[in-house]
Structure 1
Amino acid sequence: MEGVRWFENYTLWFIIPITLFVLALLVIVVVRFREKANPVPSKTSHNTAIEVIWTVGPVLILLFIAIPSFNLLNAQLAYGTCPGNHDIASGSNHYIERFGPNPTHSSSVGRWINPSTNQVYDWYRGSSPRGYSSYQIVPVNGRDFMFMHLDHDCPDEDMAWAASVLSAHPQVLTMITTHNYLAETGGSGVFGTGTGERGYTAQPNVSLAPDRNKPEEVFNALVKPFNQVYMVICGHMFAIYNLEKTNSAGNTVHEVLCDYQSLPNGGNGFLRVMDFRPSENKIYNSTYSPTLGRYVDPNLAADRQGMLDLHNPNGGEFVLDLDFDHRFDNTLTIASSYSSVSPAVGDHEIADGTPVVVSASNQTNGLTRHRPTGWTLSGAQIASGAGATATIVQKGDATLTWSWSTDYWLDTATVGGGIVSTGDGWQAAGANVSIQAQPDPGSSFLQWSGDIAGCSIDGGRITVPMDRPRGPVTAVFSAGSTPTYAVQVMSDYFSVNPAPASYAYEQGAEVTFSASTFTDGGTRFVCTGYQLSGASTASGSDDEVTVTITGDLAVTWLWKTQHRVMANASGPGVVEPAVAWVDAGEELVLTGAPESGAALVSWTGDTADGISQGNSFSIAVVNRPMGPVAATFAVGMHTLTIVSSEDTVTPVAGPLVLPHGSVVQFSALPHLSGSSRKVPSAWAVNGSQTSSGNGPEGSL
């Protein structure tokens, strides 16, 4: 940026004097040669001295501007090279002299030195010990891109160097260039794959030493194991095509061959241009010749001259997919017997190196509590810890498993004059809780009552095994002449208070009985009401009732069963409902709603008990927990056909298949033919949408 500011100030020393000089000339001409001052016009047709001055002067000025501007451009624009077979011929040091880490050729001394700082360019990061391989790193909008250039048929020493560089930059998106990689033919010769198909050349092209490696060996050592390598570009062979491979992380690697040397004039100046669009996760490829001033035309014989049997007519114009943001994501799987954890139970795609806070909280179902006691990390990482929270750093696929302990609620009570040593509270499952009855002065302990099944009783001391929620465990003391009555609580589930058991209450006591939903995984039991019998006969649909004790009483709780059905969506659309609790035996219909331009492709997952009908998935009878049932949506694809009588249009004439919602920029250039030219005057869009406009460019 300092260089840009300097150049701006530098050019002002030319712009301001030239502007003032031209203004002065205009004033002189207006004053001196106006009609009154010069009634007889000069008939001078030329002046050799002036013509020499106004030719040589601008040339010198342009030279003074061009030289620093090219130096500035050289400082701002990162570049790199990879050697080909002609650069490493036996005994030749031409490549090292010009493009090595310390060039010695007169045309290349200081190639990697920034003249404004006299330091090595920050984007030039170094070369292999031999000097034939190198790499650059260019930051763009907060994301680093590495360009690694490998020696022809990369030797072992350079392979080891490249592996060390890639290992040191695991999350820098990397493009590798090398000369000999993809084959020109499917034949068995030095230019072929030996398989009859597109792919790697079957042998090194240049065997200068026994440690040269075949393209497949380069792929296995440097491309497949390093997830950051998303593309390999090569030349050498007379063809243009691209392949897709899958690396060890399951991501796509694009392999691109672009070589135009068999075309007229050694390639007609064609260059491969790649337009990176991270917001679209795409790389747009085109082939353009500054020499010819046009894009490649697969219909012209001159644009495919010498391209052999693996030439792809569309190989010069295509789009590559690349997930810039999520390529380095790994899967963190959260495993837990209970759902009160964060992140939630299931798989989560998280970028490598990201700190992740994991936590768990108590999960209470009625009178049962599940308490997190620690976690264990397995897979690419091995670790463990106690407690309910931790921070881990994502490094590869891993599974975090939460450990839990169970507590049960103990409810204690007294009747008459006295207290007990242990009050209400949570007790660890499996514990044996000792409770001592302590009568008030003048009272005496009579008995234990309530939920005492399975308990050990020794006079005024009772030992309660916490094998389930308990209570109330009641100590009965003598106290005056108030009568007590037996109350029996009956329920199929223990999420009621008091718990199912027999109790003793004094006459006139007001007792509140309540029930709450009991959840067991994907099934829950919902209270539908109660029935009273004995001294009081009543029923209701509430989950709570308060009764005044007037005699022996029985309280019976009523329940219904519900199952959970879960659904999710993949792609542009939603599913309703996403989670539903459905009464056992009832019907449920899931509905998929695709976004505009998308369609529901399929229903997958837990679909054995249902039927898919277009955007609906019907479950006639829900008799178990289900899910997830997944609806997969996909964006529709449309064909855009470019029609033009001339070949100077972009995109080129013909059909393009594009996703719904793509934004297409189109343009046309004048077509020259001898002394005539055709100029684009207007454009029109018809089909599923219509629009038109004047001029040589537009968008839709």
Structure 2
Amino acid sequence: MCSPRQINEPRSGTGRRTFLRTTGLVGAGVAMTGLEAAPPATAAPASGAAGAPAWHPDPDSLRFTLAVMPDTQYLFDGESIHPAPVEASFRYLLSHAREENIVFLSHLGDLTEHGQISELGPIDRAFRLLDERGGAYSVVAGNHDLDSSTDDQRGRTPYLDTFGPRRYRSSPSFRGASPDGYNTYHAFRAAGREWLVLALDWRPSAKGIAWAREVIAGHPRTPVILTTHELVYADHEGEEARFSDHGQWLWDELIADHDQIFLTLNGHYWPPARTVRKNKVGHDVHLHITNYQNRYYGGAGMIRLYRFDLARHTVDVRTLSPWILDRADDHLNELERGEIERTSSQDYFSVPIDFEERFAGFAPTAPRPARPASRLVIPGTVAYWRFDQGGRDGAPVEDSVRVTDHSGRGNHLTKVAVPGSPADALTWSDEHHPDQPGHGSLSFHGDKSPLRGACLRTADGAPLNGATFRSGYTVEAFLKLPADWDGGRNAWSGLLGRRGPSGQAGKTGGDMEEPVVTLSLSDGHGLQWAVYPLNQDGAVTNWSHELPLNTWWHAAVVNDGRHTTMYVNGCPVARNPSTPANGLTTLGLPWLLGGYEYGGKIDQIMHGWIGDVRVVDRALPVRDFMSS
């Protein structure tokens, strides 16, 4: 952004920023077309890179960080050269590269105040800190780095000699440049996929836009982050960002009709701001401006960290000055203490993005195909039920239904309805967990006030009824609870359980009306595995955390003959007791799926979906769960 001394304010009363947006003639950059080649500076690199870890981000972690550095021009201004803040930021990125999984740095332009060789040399040396350690980064030209009245067809400049394509020859991320050299694109791998950074000149020409379109077309399944010097702005702190005149042109010419562009980053103006616009297919594009040159010490080398977390569908943003942070234990002056970290709503925030949904238009995630039942009948399988061979979605489960036990052990299921329940108290459903082998489920519509619903049961004399599992077991189920699940009406409904009061089995160490085995849902929609082992009089219970509603889950309970561990989505829960537990008590009575018994009678029916259920007579490792 131009300083007040560089251009006269219009007399019409129009704000300085408005004038700069409409003229585009910002800065005192020097056109150097035809200048003899100015080789990169050869002075020794700044100290501090030695000993820093090499740049080796984890390409598969679902958490990674994109670093952003905006305008640094006031630190490289004629005879006023102050590289220390920028060097401190680079050293911070290198020293935190592994723990933060930093994959890339984007500089947003206006590296220098005048684009002179004497200014470019020091920042060139600062960037060598990254070069020496294999850092991946991009740089774009700002209006102060060259003649701002020209576009990317301007020809040769000191900026291009210093930060042109040849600089990236050994870069792990560089993929190519436009013929003029002012536009580049880079790629990094993170979260198991490739991401593309499109770094555009201060003023891309029609040729530059055509080149950018070709780059995107050549990577049709790759999400794109676009960086450029000018795009959006805000006049006042806390305002929503809006397009400059040039930014609107860039949106119309490139961004709006390329769905792969989901995030844009620019500097030039201040204060920081952001907005969200819909592109031509109706998807969100997040547009952010970040610039701190107007703040103490020319922005003090501020960097912004975009921490992507694809598991949480969130990007967490943090802004700080490592240069000041490095000296936080020293005596800082009054202004430094206020600039260590920026915490306004435009500098420290989170952006929710469902990446799978956002990228579905150009890189849809192929659903996992159904797997045949025979593949799930592993050694030790004593029961395996799935519900993908029933009626149409939403159709009532027939009273005469028999759900096949695919284990071959004959533990088939039949329907049991609470008297007076409607026919649609139990229905077939096409819904399923994305990692579920069978693509179908049962939808239970149970309620306790009054008691109604239907569940399934094994037959009298089924082999599973008498199994004691002395050598261990694994019980697995897929489930989903609806948004209207209510603890007052739906608590303590069973996913799977064995009939028979514990007192009748000689167990007197607890409530003798409780069933001998149950996997049920507590009043806080968390899972409870409550069983009476063979080796003790009382019950042993495992508890999960509360399961968010309207989400599919995989639950597993694993006993190795000594102790029991509950897993949710393959992760062990906290409330797994160390109590010894061997086997499962039995009265030889049937098992219930979707029903809970108390005092020898059905007391509650499941409200929600149950997908594939499998019981194995040994402890399975997580890698052998049905969800794997």
Same-fold status (TM-score > 0.5): no
Higher Rg of the two aligned structures = 1
Q: TM-score, normalised by structure 1?
A: 0.34
Q: Which has the higher contact order (CA 8 A, sep 6+)?
A: 2
More helix by share: 2
Q: TM-score, normalised by structure 2?
A: 0.37
